[in-house]
């Protein structure tokens, strides 16, 4: 295993020390492994928190800041945060208007966020709403999930919902925006290589030279099928076709296309893939009005990519364009 680490057991806590050192606008609760806005809680604003296993950076800690999340809990690599962390993050984010939990649909995450919501409401009376992201069209159930997995749409949902919270809407309205984003987003991913979890010390799975996995999960969970390597234009078809056949993306106010890198794929390849995806969408009559290209929800150093398409209306588009200031996404301020 070749990694820039010290002891594998300390990877997450030492990375959090680095986040704290690099970003003075963020606070870090090292005991509970929480990244939060240094000015949290924001009085009167609905608090937004998320979290999950580490190894998907910049998701979620890199999306904490004005216009996006108020706090994010970091589990161990590819391991759900425990309820105590979520409770502590909820309290940090509570500015008196309630807190929205944004949860990717993995069994451990869903269970631990639910338990935390019950605990924190019982203890403190904080009002909590939850949205579960389940946008991955690849498989119905999988290794860690009942139902679809939560993947790329999570990034877009955190951004758009963060803008809605910034506008001063109440908890029910903010949760409604989040659910609308989840309902309008679909994703599909693929891998050329496995990644290596530091504590495991060896690749999560074996993917021979000459083969790739279509429909991969962000923890290396099996996808739909293993196929021989193919040119980018065919890979793009394999990812976009299942997305388009799951939801009609034509009409409305156009679509946002998110071409995500899994961590080990160069930007040169991501842009090349974006070109292939854009051509297919154009042919299918989907009007792309916004795009995002880069590694935003990763699987450590896995080589591969995912495609997320989000159907927009004028409100979601306006909220996407609103200012945001986080380490991972920043514009307009």
Tell which one of 51, 58, 189, 242 touches a copy of itself (CB under 8 A).
Answer: 58
Q: What is the DSSP letter of 169?
A: -
Q: Is residue 60 annotated as part of the catalytic site, yes or no?
A: no
Q: Is there binding between residue 15 and a copy of itself (CB under 8 A)?
A: yes
Catalytic residue among 23, 60, 101, 219: 219
Q: Is residue 219 annotated as part of the catalytic site, yes or no?
A: yes
Question: CB–CB of 177/320 below 8 Å?
Answer: no
C-beta of 57 vs 134, nearer to a copy of itself: 57
Q: Is there binding between residue 301 and a copy of itself (CB under 8 A)?
A: yes
Q: Is there binding between residue 265 and a copy of itself (CB under 8 A)?
A: yes
Range 276-284 contact pairs with CB under 8 angstroms and sequence separation of 24 or more: 276/232, 276/233, 276/235, 276/236, 277/236, 277/239, 277/240, 277/307, 279/236, 280/236, 280/237, 280/240, 280/241, 281/240, 281/244, 281/249, 281/255, 281/257, 281/309, 284/240, 284/244, 284/249, 284/250
Q: Is there binding between residue 127 and a copy of itself (CB under 8 A)?
A: no
Q: Is there binding between residue 179 and a copy of itself (CB under 8 A)?
A: no
**Burial class of residue 237 (count of CB atoms within 10 Å of its CB; 0-12, 13-18, 19+):** middle
The residues with which 133 forms a beta bridge, in sequence order, are 104
Q: Is there binding between residue 233 and a copy of itself (CB under 8 A)?
A: yes
Tell which one of 270, 280, 286, 297 touches a copy of itself (CB under 8 A).
Answer: 270
C-beta of 41 vs 261, nearer to a copy of itself: 261
Look up residue 202 and give its two tokens. 């060896």
Tokens 């290589």 correspond to 193
Q: Is there binding between residue 291 and a copy of itself (CB under 8 A)?
A: yes
Minimum CB separation from a copy of itself for residue 263, in Å? Answer: 5
Q: Which residues bind a copy of itself (CB under 8 A)?
A: 2-7, 11-12, 14-19, 21-23, 54-55, 57-58, 62, 77, 192-193, 209, 212, 229, 231-233, 235, 259, 263-275, 278, 288, 291, 293, 295, 298, 300-301, 303-305, 325, 327, 330-333
Which active-site residues does the annotation give? Answer: 56, 219
């Amino acid at each position: 295993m070749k990694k820039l680490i010290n002891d594998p057991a300390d990877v997450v806590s030492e990375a959090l020390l680095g986040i704290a050192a690099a970003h003075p606008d963020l606070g870090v609760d090292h005991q509970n492994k929480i990244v939060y806005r240094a000015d949290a809680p924001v009085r009167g604003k609905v608090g937004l928190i998320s979290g999950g296993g580490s190894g998907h950076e910049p998701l979620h800690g890199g999306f904490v800041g004005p216009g996006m999340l108020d706090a994010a809990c970091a589990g161990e690599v590819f391991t759900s945060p425990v309820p105590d962390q979520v409770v502590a993050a909820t309290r940090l984010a509570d500015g008196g208007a309630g807190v929205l939990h944004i949860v990717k649909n993995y069994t451990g995450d869903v269970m631990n966020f639910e338990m935390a919501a019950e605990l924190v409401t019982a203890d403190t009376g904080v009002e909590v709403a939850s949205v579960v992201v389940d946008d991955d069209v690849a498989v119905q159930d999988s290794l860690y999930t009942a139902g679809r997995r939560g993947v790329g749409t999570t990034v877009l949902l955190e951004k758009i919902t963060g803008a809605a919270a910034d506008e001063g809407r109440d908890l029910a309205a903010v949760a409604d925006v989040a659910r609308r984003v989840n309902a309008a987003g679909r994703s599909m991913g693929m891998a050329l290589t496995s990644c290596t979890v530091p504590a495991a010390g060896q690749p999560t799975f074996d993917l021979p030279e000459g083969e790739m996995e279509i429909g991969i999960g962000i923890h290396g969970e099996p996808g739909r099928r293993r196929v021989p390597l193919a040119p980018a234009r065919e890979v793009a078809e394999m990812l976009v076709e299942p997305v388009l056949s799951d939801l009609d993306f034509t009409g409305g106010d156009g679509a946002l296309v998110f071409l995500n890198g899994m961590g080990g794929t160069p930007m040169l390849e991501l842009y090349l893939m974006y070109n292939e995806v854009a051509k297919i969408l154009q042919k299918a009559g989907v009007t792309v009005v916004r795009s995002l290209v880069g590694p935003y929800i990763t699987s450590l150093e896995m080589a591969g990519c995912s495609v997320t398409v989000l159907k927009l209306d004028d409100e979601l588009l306006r909220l996407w364009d609103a200012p945001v200031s986080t380490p991972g996404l920043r514009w307009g301020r």
